[in-house]
A and B are shown apart, each in its own frame.
Chain A
Amino acid sequence: MPKLMNRFLLISILSLHVFSCKSYQIPDAELVSKQVESIENKYFSNLETDYIYKAQISVYDNNLSGIFIAKRINPTTHRVALTTDFGNTLFDFEIAENSFKVNYVIPDLNNPFIKSTLKKDFRLLLKNNFKIDNQLKTKDYDVYKSKKEFIFVNQNNSIQKITTSSGSKEKRTIVFDAKNTTFAENITITHYNIPLEIKLSQITNTN
């Protein structure tokens, strides 16, 4: 009996492991041959442009509004800041693929979980180049898989959505509403594991 129990337990554990390793599947997507080696995200790529957005952040039951600022300061690094509408800086980071520097963060946001979440969100938002592993196709999109990210490119050849997966589920999605291929008018970052959503609307700086 103990041998049978052990075997049963082992099979259960292995089955659980196999099922939990199942990766995220895009509905109605078919695998096609890879046509490109990399995809470029041009939305935050210009070194001369100040990217200024009105930000609305909802987290748990709280709403926060302010101004989101991003600027590519060199080929590998973006400077990202959020201020209140009055101009008080809430955070000011420098983000690259392999580094994260905090220039300033108000005490209320100086929490490892908050900083880590924001770092991952903005690193994905600002990432300029994705190396492609696989390519898929749906009715409306060409979909490029890069590690755990899925980049959805619409029929206008613009990136419309980027999804990060964790196991078999979506973890985070960034949707770009863009008539302009280099400066998206509206951006929404949605989380599926925590109640956090960030909405950005482009501001025209009149100065």
Chain B
Amino acid sequence: MRSTIIANVKIAVVDHDALTRDFIVNVMMYSVNRHVIGFENARDFLKHLESAGDVDLVLAEIRLPGENGFELLKHLKKVKPATRFIALSSKAVDEDYAHALGADAFLAKPFLLKDLFAIVEHFVVEDEA
């Protein structure tokens, strides 16, 4: 069985913490060999979405300044239900609500490199028979 990456996969990372955002962008860009964009806040991401069209996978911090990750998740599930949403947080209390809102995955900080690779394997790679 051969692995392939979803054709023209579009991934976005939304986190106000530059260290974390840049790391995830770097890992995703390397893993899928596609341009991956990072955003500091939900507003900039949604503005980009208006012009860029669909995004396949979003990794977003819950505790964003301004519109937070929960609001972003609710909004995306309503307008772009096909987009997979990975909620990031350093607070255990956020997990249940993320689950209730329909997040596809929860990435608890601090995370390891293998967690990001596991996300790629699950959400971006397809197996060809």
Whether both chains belong to one complex is answered with no
Contact residues of B with A, CB < 8 Å? none
Contact residues of A with B, CB < 8 Å? none
